[in-house]
Structure 1
Amino acid sequence: MSINTRVVLREYAPDDVHSPDYFSIDNSQPIPDSNKLTKGQVLVQVSTLSVDPHQRLFISPPPTMPTVKSAFRYPLGQAIFGIGVGTVIASKNASYAVGDRVRSESMPWQEYAVLNEDQLIKLPDNDSPLSDHVGVYGMAAFTAYLGTVYVAKPKAGETILISAASGAVGQVAVQLAKARGLRVVGMAGSDDKIEHIRSLGADAAFNYKTCGDLDAAMAEAAPNGIDIYFDNVGGEILDAALLNLNPLARVVICGSMSTYGAAHSKIRGIMNLPSVIVKEVALKCIYYLPHYGTQRETDFLQEMTQLVEQGKIQFRVDERIGLASAPQALADLFAGKNFGKLIVKV
C-alpha cells in the first residue's frame, strides 16, 4: 500500500500552550485511487502548505474563547487543513487537466488530496514557483495589499505604524506603504526582526518587548502622530496605538495574534476608545477571503508581479521541509518563533 502521510489533531490544545504534541503524523491511510474519483473531483499532489496564525483558533477546546464561541474547530483524528498549493495528477473535472497548478483554502495537510471544483482556484501556468502562491503572491501579501491600499487609503507624507512588521503580512505592508510615500514605523519582538524591518525601508522601528512604555515608544517613533495603524496583534499594543492617532486616522484591524489561543482572563480589553471617538477615527477590519477572484486581487497580482520582477519587493520565508516538520512549525508560529512567512514544503 502506498502511504498518504497526513497531519492530524490528536487533542485540543489548552489556552496559552504551544506544543507540537497535540498533533501526530499519521501513516495509516493509502493514497486515494484515481480510478475512484467521482464526476467533478480531482486528485492533487500537495506541494506547499501555508502556516497561519488563525489556525490556532481551530485547535482550542470549545468554549475556551467566549469571543469566538462559534468558530470552527478541526475534528479530532482527522487531517487538519488550510491554504495550500499543488498539482493535479488525475481529474474527472472538465475545468482541470492533469498538470494544472491549483490553490485551495481547504487543502488537507497530507501528501495527496481529493478536492472538488468549488475548493480550487487555478493558478497561472508560468515560471513562478508554486510556493510563491502561499508566499509573495499568497494570502498574507494580498491581505497586506487590501489593508494598506484599499482600507487605509494612504496619502503621501502620512505616517503608518505597523505591528508584527517582520511577519508575513507586515513585511509586505511596510514595502507597499513606502512605495506610496508614507513614513513607516514598524514594530516587532526581537532585535534581528527590527533590523530586518529597517532593511525593508522602514523609517523607524522598535522592539515592543524591550521598549518599556509602549505609549512613549510610539510617540518617540512617530513624533507627528499616526495617521494609519495597521494592526496584526490586538491587545495592549492596539490600545497604546489608539492614544497616538491623529484626527481622522484609520485603523486597519487585520489580526489579533496576541489573543489567539490565550486564556480569556489574560486578554486585555480596549481602554482607550474615548481617544478614537473624539478624533473621529475610522476602524475597519479586513479579511482576505471575500476579495479573492475580484478586481482587487487582479490589481494586487499585477502590482506585486511588477514589483517582484523589478526587484523592489523583499519577502522573507521561514521554510520547513516535510510533513513531519509541520507540528513544530505550527507550535513555533503560535509562540511567535517564526521569522517571516512560515510555510511547509510537503
Structure 2
Amino acid sequence: MSIANTRVVLQSYAPKDVHSPSLFSVDDSQAAPDVAALQQNQVLVKAEALSIDPHQRRFIDIPDSSNKAAYQFRYPLGKPIVGIGAGIVVASTSSQFSAGDWVRSEQFPWQTYAVFADQDVVKLPKTTASIVDHIGVFGMPAFTAFLGITLAGQPKAGETMLVSAAAGAVGQVVVQLGKARGLRVIGVAGSDDKIEYVKRLGADGVINYRTCGDFVHAIKQAAPEGIDIYFDNVGGEFLDAALLTLNVHARVALCGSISTYASDKSKIAGIKNLDAIIVKQVTLRSFHYQPHLGTPIETDFLEEMAQLVAANQMQFKLDQREGLASAPQALADLFSGRNFGKLIVRP
C-alpha cells in the first residue's frame, strides 16, 4: 500500500499586496517516493518542521519588469515552493546518513516526503529536546541574530540598542543577546501581547509602532541618550526615522526589510535621512547567515546558545501550525502580523 505524499503547490503569482492562501493548492494525488528507486548518495526524508520566512514572499510575487534591482527568481508554478526545513531520514544510499538521522536542508519543498542528494542536507545533533529547535533557537533566526550582534553591532557594555520586530523570530533573540552583553535594549513591536513578551525578554523599554505616533519622537522618548546600535528588521519608514536618533559612530545592522516586500512598489516608504549617517559617521552593515554556515562563528553561536538555553537564559517563542495544508495561511499571516514568534509548520 502506497503512502500519500501531500504537496502544497504554487498555482499563481501574487498580484499587488495579495497575501492569499488561494495562490496555492493542496495535492494528495502522488505517492511517497519509492525507497527502491533511490539513486546512489541520496536520502529520503520525511518532513518534521518547515520554516515560514519573509524572504519567501519575494519569490511568489508577480515579477516586476520595471525594477531591475528586484529579485528576478520566482518559484516555478505547478510545484511546491521551498525553504528551510528539518526532517528525519527514512532511507539512505549514502554512507553519511542512516535511517533515523535528523537532517536540515535550505531547499526543503512543501511536501511530506522529499529526496535529496546527500550534499544538500546537513546532519543535526540529537542533543536538543526536539528537531524543531534546529529551525528555531539553534536555527537560522537565532544565528542571524548572533551574526548581526557580533559582526554589525559590535556592542560595548552600557550602550543602547534599538531592535525593530523585537517579538519576531530574529528580534526576540537579539533582545536577549543584547542584554547578555550589557546593553540597554529598546524593543519595537505592534501589539499589547507582543510588547509584554518583549518586556519579559528583558527589554528596558518597548515602543508600540502602531500607536506611538511620530517614530522619531517615540524613539527619543524611549532612549533620550540616543541609539548606539540599531538592529533593523523592517526597513522603510521606521529605518528612516531611526537614522535621526543615532549617536556618533553608531552601527546599523541591516537584517531585514519586511515593510518593503510588498509587490506594489509605489507603497514603499523611501529613505530620506541618509545625510544623518554621514554627519554622525554611522556604519551600516548588511549580512546573511548562509556564507557563515560551517565556519568558526557558527561554532561560537551554537556554543553560546547551548549555554544560554541550559541556564534558562534564552526564551524562544514558536508559532506552530499543524498540518502541511496550513502552510499557505501561515505565509499570509506572516505578512499581516497575525503570527507571534517564529512561524513553523509541522507536517
- Give the TM bin, normalised by the shorter chain: over 0.9
- Secondary structure of 2:12's counterpart equals coil
Output the TM-score relative to the length of structure 2: 0.97
Q: RMSD between aligned alpha carbons?
A: 1.1
Number of residue pairs the alignment of both structures matches: 346
Equivalences for 1:140-179 in 2 at 5 Å?
Answer: 140-179=141-180
What secondary structure does 1:258 align onto?
helix
Paired position in structure 2 for 1:182: 183
Matching residue's letter, 2:5: N
Q: Which amino acid aligns with 1:28?
A: S
Q: From the superposition, tell whether residues 25 and 65 of structure 1 become closer, same or farther in structure 2 (CA, over 3 Å).
A: farther
Counterpart in the other structure of 1:297 = 298
Pairwise CA distance, 1:64: 6.0
SS at match of 1:59: coil
* Cα deviation 1:268-288 (Å, max 9, x = unaligned): 111000010011100000111
**Matched residues in 2 for 1:43 and 1:200: separation?**
39
Identity of aligned residues (%): 60
Q: Is the aligned partner of 1:104 residue 2:110?
A: no
Give, as a single letter, the amino acid of the residue that structure 1 aligns with 2:119.
Answer: D
Which position in structure 2 is the counterpart of 1:322? 323
Q: How does 1:13-52 map to 2 (within 5 A)?
A: 13-52=14-53
Counterpart check, 1:283 vs 2:284: yes
Inter-CA distance 65–203: structure 2 relative to 1 (3 Å threshold): farther
**What is the alpha-carbon distance in structure 1 between the residues aligned to residue 24 and residue 71 of structure 2?**
23
Structure 1 residue 125, shift from structure 2 partner: 2.8
Distance 1:270 1:138, change over 3 A: same
Residue of structure 2 in register with 1:273 after alignment: 274
Question: What is the identity, as a one-letter code, of the residue corresponding to 2:95?
Answer: A
- Three-state SS of the structure 1 residue aligned to 2:277 is helix
- Decide whether the 8 Å contact of 2:42 with 2:118 is kept in 1: yes
Please name the residue that 1:80 is paired with: 81
Q: CA deviation at 1:67?
A: 5.8
Letter in structure 2 aligned against 1:119: D
SS of 2:162's equivalent in the other structure is strand
Distance in 2 (alpha carbons) for counterparts of 1:25 and 1:298: 39
Q: How far did 1:65 drift?
A: 7.4
> Once the two structures are superposed, what CA deviation does each residue of 1:291-325 show, in whole Å capped at 9, x if it has no partner?
11111111111100111111001111101001011
Runs of 4+ in 1 over 4 A off after TM superposition: none
- For 1:320, what is the secondary structure of its paired residue? strand
Question: Is 2:261 aligned against 1:260?
Answer: yes
What are the superposed Cα offsets for residues 140-166 of structure 1, whole Å, 9 maximum, x if unpaired?
010001001222110000000000000
Rounded Cα–Cα distance in structure 2 between residues aligned with 1:183 and 1:342: 27
What CA distance in whole angstroms lies between the structure 1 residues aligned with 2:243 and 2:55? 24
Residue segments in structure 1 that go unaligned for 5+ positions in a row: none
Mapped to 1, the partners of 2:126 and 2:341 lie a distance apart of 26
Structure 2 counterpart of 1:2, which letter? I
